[in-house]
């Protein structure tokens, strides 16, 4: 009989294999999406309207990308 540790490691290995083969959970995420997600972490403290939150987050992401290009 296999130990709990061995069973958990087998599940872990399956997950790692899936991540490697498929590119992970965020394989289609753009840098803009990533920046917007980071901005949302800050904005969510003050904005509870989700439509406004996402709009503001992407506006900040666009500003970050513009600043990055100006470098």
Q: What is the pLDDT of residues 13-57, one digit of tens each?
A: 777 776 677 777 777 889 999 999 999 999 888 888 999 999 999
Residue labelled with tokens 């666009």: 62
Q: What is the pTM of this model?
A: 0.64
44 DSSP assignment: T
Cβ burial of 38 (10 Å; 0-12, 13-18, 19+) is middle
């Amino acid at each position: 009989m296999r130990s709990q540790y061995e069973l958990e490691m087998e599940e872990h290995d399956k997950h790692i294999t899936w991540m490697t083969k498929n590119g992970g959970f965020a394989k289609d995420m753009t840098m803009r999406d990533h920046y917007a997600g980071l901005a949302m972490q800050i904005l969510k403290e003050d904005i509870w309207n989700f439509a406004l939150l996402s709009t503001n987050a992407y506006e900040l992401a666009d500003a970050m990308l513009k600043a990055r290009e100006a470098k």
